[in-house]
Protein backbone atom coordinates (compact mmCIF):
# COMPACT_ATOMS: atom_id res chain seq x y z
CA UNK A 1 0.00 0.00 0.00
CA UNK A 2 1.60 3.27 -1.11
CA UNK A 3 0.47 6.32 0.84
CA UNK A 4 0.14 9.70 -0.75
CA UNK A 5 0.75 12.69 1.49
CA UNK A 6 1.55 16.33 1.03
CA UNK A 7 5.01 17.17 2.33
CA UNK A 8 5.36 20.69 3.73
CA UNK A 9 8.47 22.66 2.94
CA UNK A 10 9.42 25.68 5.02
CA UNK A 11 7.65 27.92 2.51
CA UNK A 12 4.48 25.81 2.46
CA UNK A 13 4.26 25.05 6.18
CA UNK A 14 0.88 26.18 7.50
CA UNK A 15 0.88 28.64 10.35
CA UNK A 16 0.22 27.00 13.74
CA UNK A 17 -2.61 29.52 14.10
CA UNK A 18 -4.43 27.55 11.39
CA UNK A 19 -4.27 24.44 13.56
CA UNK A 20 -6.02 26.07 16.54
CA UNK A 21 -9.62 27.28 16.69
CA UNK A 22 -9.93 30.99 15.96
CA UNK A 23 -12.43 31.61 18.77
CA UNK A 24 -10.46 33.67 21.25
CA UNK A 25 -13.40 36.00 21.94
CA UNK A 26 -14.53 33.93 24.94
CA UNK A 27 -11.29 34.44 26.87
CA UNK A 28 -9.75 37.48 28.56
CA UNK A 29 -7.66 39.77 26.33
CA UNK A 30 -4.53 38.95 28.33
CA UNK A 31 -5.07 35.25 27.73
CA UNK A 32 -5.61 35.87 24.01
CA UNK A 33 -2.29 37.72 23.81
CA UNK A 34 -0.51 34.88 25.63
CA UNK A 35 -2.11 32.31 23.32
CA UNK A 36 -1.00 34.24 20.23
CA UNK A 37 2.54 34.47 21.62
CA UNK A 38 2.62 30.71 22.20
CA UNK A 39 1.50 30.13 18.62
CA UNK A 40 4.15 32.54 17.31
CA UNK A 41 6.88 30.72 19.24
CA UNK A 42 5.58 27.34 18.01
CA UNK A 43 5.64 28.58 14.42
CA UNK A 44 9.21 29.81 14.80
CA UNK A 45 10.22 26.53 16.41
CA UNK A 46 8.59 24.51 13.59
CA UNK A 47 10.42 26.58 10.99
CA UNK A 48 13.73 25.86 12.77
CA UNK A 49 13.33 22.09 12.28
CA UNK A 50 15.00 20.39 9.36
CA UNK A 51 12.73 19.39 6.49
CA UNK A 52 12.91 15.72 7.47
CA UNK A 53 12.15 16.49 11.15
CA UNK A 54 9.17 18.62 10.16
CA UNK A 55 7.84 16.05 7.69
CA UNK A 56 8.17 13.17 10.16
CA UNK A 57 6.53 15.16 12.94
CA UNK A 58 3.63 16.36 10.80
CA UNK A 59 2.99 12.89 9.43
CA UNK A 60 3.06 11.43 12.95
CA UNK A 61 0.71 14.18 14.15
CA UNK A 62 -1.51 13.25 11.22
CA UNK A 63 -1.87 9.75 12.61
CA UNK A 64 0.63 7.78 10.57
CA UNK A 65 2.66 5.10 12.31
CA UNK A 66 6.46 5.09 12.17
CA UNK A 67 6.36 2.21 9.69
CA UNK A 68 4.05 4.18 7.37
CA UNK A 69 6.16 7.34 7.66
CA UNK A 70 9.26 5.29 6.86
CA UNK A 71 7.58 3.98 3.71
CA UNK A 72 6.43 7.43 2.59
CA UNK A 73 9.80 9.11 3.19
CA UNK A 74 11.95 6.10 2.22
CA UNK A 75 13.63 5.95 5.65
CA UNK A 76 14.14 3.17 8.15
CA UNK A 77 11.59 2.85 10.95
CA UNK A 78 14.28 3.48 13.57
CA UNK A 79 15.38 6.65 11.77
CA UNK A 80 11.79 7.90 11.82
CA UNK A 81 11.53 7.21 15.56
CA UNK A 82 14.80 9.01 16.28
CA UNK A 83 13.81 11.92 14.05
CA UNK A 84 10.38 12.38 15.67
CA UNK A 85 11.98 12.22 19.13
CA UNK A 86 14.62 14.80 18.16
CA UNK A 87 11.99 17.12 16.66
CA UNK A 88 9.85 16.95 19.80
CA UNK A 89 12.86 17.71 22.01
CA UNK A 90 13.78 20.70 19.81
CA UNK A 91 10.22 22.05 19.96
CA UNK A 92 10.07 21.61 23.74
CA UNK A 93 13.37 23.44 24.14
CA UNK A 94 12.41 26.34 21.89
CA UNK A 95 8.91 26.67 23.34
CA UNK A 96 10.14 26.45 26.95
CA UNK A 97 8.05 23.38 27.75
What residue ranges do the domains of the chain occupy?
28-94
- 35: closest CA among 13, 15, 17, 47? 17
Task: Please tell me the predicted confidence (pLDDT) of residue 45.
Answer: 87
Task: Please tell me the predicted confidence (pLDDT) of residue 97.
Answer: 66
CB burial of 39-57 (b: ≥16 within 10 Å; e: otherwise) equals bebbbebbeebeebbbbbb
Rounded CA gap, 25 and 82, in Å? 39
Taking the whole predicted model, whether its pTM rises above 0.75 is answered as no
Task: Please tell me the predicted confidence (pLDDT) of residue 23.
Answer: 58
- 48: closest CA among 80, 86, 20? 86
> Which tens digits make up the pLDDT trace of 32-62?
888 888 888 888 889 999 999 999 999 999 9
For the chain, the distance separating the N- and C-terminal CA atoms, rounded to the nearest angstrom, is 37
Residue 80 has pLDDT above 90, yes or no: yes
Choose which CATH entry (1.10.390.10, 1.10.10.10, 2.40.160.10, 1.10.357.10) describes domain 28-94: 1.10.10.10
Rounded CA gap, 39 and 55, in Å? 19
Amino acid sequence: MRLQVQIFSKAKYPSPALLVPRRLDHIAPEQAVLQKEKLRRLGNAMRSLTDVERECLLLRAGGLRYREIAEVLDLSTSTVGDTVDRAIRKLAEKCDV
